[in-house]
Amino acid sequence: MDTLKILQASEQANWDYDDEADVLYLSVGKPRPAIGIDIGDGVVLRYDEATQEVVGLTVIGLRAKVAKAA
């Protein structure tokens, strides 16, 4: 079985928040095409099959998650 590369050292992390849709987009390095895998609770893992790396996360409904945690 191949090893999945998870959050190896990166020079750069990027994020963008869509206030209207309440969605947070996080990427390791520059955003790039990837497969989205729903891991539950409104979180989508972004995975690059070619390099077998996790390249980002999408968090849907961020405001509700933050309010719930407070």
Long-range contacts at 15-20 (CB < 8 A, ≥ 24 apart): 17/62
Going from the first residue of the chain to its last (70 residues), give the mean pLDDT of each consecutive group of 10, the final group possibly shorter.
55 89 92 94 94 92 88
Tokens describing residue 1: 């079985």
Domain borders along the chain are: 13-69
**27: number of Cβ within 10 Å:** 19
DSSP single-letter state for residue 33: -
Distance of CA 59 to the CA centre of its chain: 7
- The beta strands (E) that lie in 29-69 are given as 35-40, 43-48, 53-60
pTM score of the predicted model: 0.78
pLDDT of residue 3: 57
